[in-house]
Amino acid sequence: MIPRLKDAMADLKSATLIYAKGLLFLLAGLLAATLLIAERPTIRVVLLLGLTVWCFARSYYFAFYVIEHYVDPGYKFAGLGSFVRYLFRRRGGSGAEMPREPGEFSSTERGERS
């Protein structure tokens, strides 16, 4: 019998391994960026690469921090796959209104008609 991937892949518990994993991601990113710039060393490529990295970092931050802390406090981030599943469940879900900031009222609470 083939073991399930989830059973074979346990969460990292060692702080040393977690730091090593982060360092490997940093090194892989720096190597990839260096190779891209070396292949086409123009200011345009450097700026587009910087913009790409920044945009992906912000979208990742949105997926795990903004949703969990500002949109849906019941959602707990467990990776990009869990975020995609969360989006599909919400899309086919109850269609409930998104939580609002304290003191913010919906149109019906303000007495407006829709």
The whole domain housing 18 covers 14-91
Examine residue 96 and state whether it is found in any structural domain, yes or no: no
Position with higher pLDDT, 36 vs 82: 36
Residue 97 lies in a domain: no
Q: What is the pLDDT of residues 65-109, one digit of tens each?
A: 888 888 888 877 777 888 888 888 877 654 444 444 444 444 444
Query: Residue 8 falls within a domain, yes or no?
Result: no
The residue type of 47 is L
- CA gap 101, 103 in Å, rounded: 6
Domain assignment of residue 102, yes or no: no
Give which of 87, 88, 30 is closest to 62, Cα–Cα.
87
Give the Cα separation of 98 and 106 in Å (integer). Answer: 10
Question: Could you tell me the pLDDT band of residue 1, with boundaries at 50, 70 and 90?
Answer: low
Q: Domains in the chain: how many in total?
A: 1
Rounded distance between C-alpha atoms, residue 68 and residue 92, angstroms? 19
Residue 103 lies in a domain: no
Question: Would 109 be classed as within a structural domain?
Answer: no
Per-residue confidence (pLDDT) for residue 90, from 0 to 100: 76
Residue 36 has pLDDT above 50, yes or no: yes
Q: What's the rounded Cα separation, in Å, for the pair 96 and 90?
A: 9
Domain assignment present for residue 51? The answer is yes
* Residue 1 resides in a domain: no
Helix ranges restricted to H, 1-114:
5-8, 15-39, 43-61, 80-91
